[in-house]
Amino acid sequence: MLKALLSLILLSGTAISNNLPANTETNILLTGKQMVIEEQLKKKVLDITLPPGLKKKAADAPLIQASSALVYDLNSGVILYQKNIDTKQPIASITKLMTAIIILEENDLNEIATIKQESTQIGGVKIWLYTGEKITIANLLRGALIPSGNDAAHALAIHNSGSINLFVQKMNQKGQILGLKNSHFANPMGFDDPENYSTAEDLVTLSKYALKKKFIRDTVKISHTEVISENGKIKHELSSTNKLLTDSDIIVKGLKTGNTENAGLCFIGLIQNTENHEFVSIVLNSPARFTETKTLSKWIIDNYIWP
């Protein structure tokens, strides 16, 4: 198909050139312009990303228990698997992707945040920040994205906006800009709240946008690291909640976990097949988020062909 399009472009160009007067300055100029047009058209044709397709003898899609699930090919923008993708559900710490986006777009990574007492008193998973501790925005982001530290996410919001309410307004404004039609944010941590929800479909949009941020891409693939306060006296060990980063069966390059009583076990995974094609897998409210992600990913890899 691509060859046919290219042939048509080249034949059209040849026909136009042959109809021009020979041996004139005008002919040279027009031929030059035509060559530029041909090159531009060829580039557009080559830029077309064909979607992966199911093999002729593909196995049936697996049955999974997650309330919602979606697998999305990043290059072509095609959905490869779906289940209840427009159902609104709590998303727990997946919320922190939006928190990180706001910070990356409004703050410098080298800025120094001074930790307030209210951030140290936040509940759930923590990286154990200290009141008065000075630490870079980059290290707080690592603390929020790798081990999913709630105190780090809270501290980022306070540093950015001075209050959680003002920061949440920014989160929802950004959601509208990104076209998240069935999402709403109530806090930067992802704590259970009737007003903190999204859908698998919206989370694909959020994930695609987040993955354009180099810092996020580089951070979510880290399984373990250490960050240090600005004075070098306080160390925070960060171990990823993403247990598939070290899995030997599939190649996982990120992304974000979530887990609360209402949301259940959630996971967005950035998966790569053996030909370096990337796809995003989402499972929400799953009884076994990593197992079901592997099941979906293996089925995609084994039964789809990328052109």
Residues 98-122 pLDDT 10s: 999 999 999 999 999 999 999 999 9
- Percentage with pLDDT > 90 across the chain: 78
Structure tokens at 81: 């698997």
Q: In whole angstroms, what is the distance from residue 265 CA to residue 290 CA?
A: 9
Sequence ranges of the domains in the chain:
2-47, 54-305
Residue 189 confidence (pLDDT) above 80: yes
Minimum mean pLDDT range among 8-17, 106-115, 165-174: 8-17
pTM here is 0.84
Residues 29-52 pLDDT 10s: 445 556 656 565 555 544 556 888
Residue 22 confidence (pLDDT) above 50: no
Quote the pLDDT of residue 306. Answer: 83
Q: Which residues are part of the catalytic machinery? A: 93, 96, 148
Q: In whole angstroms, what is the distance from residue 63 CA to residue 61 CA?
A: 7
Does the domain formed by 54-305 have CATH 2.40.160.210? Answer: no
Of 226, 268, 276, 237, nearest in space to 100 by CA: 268
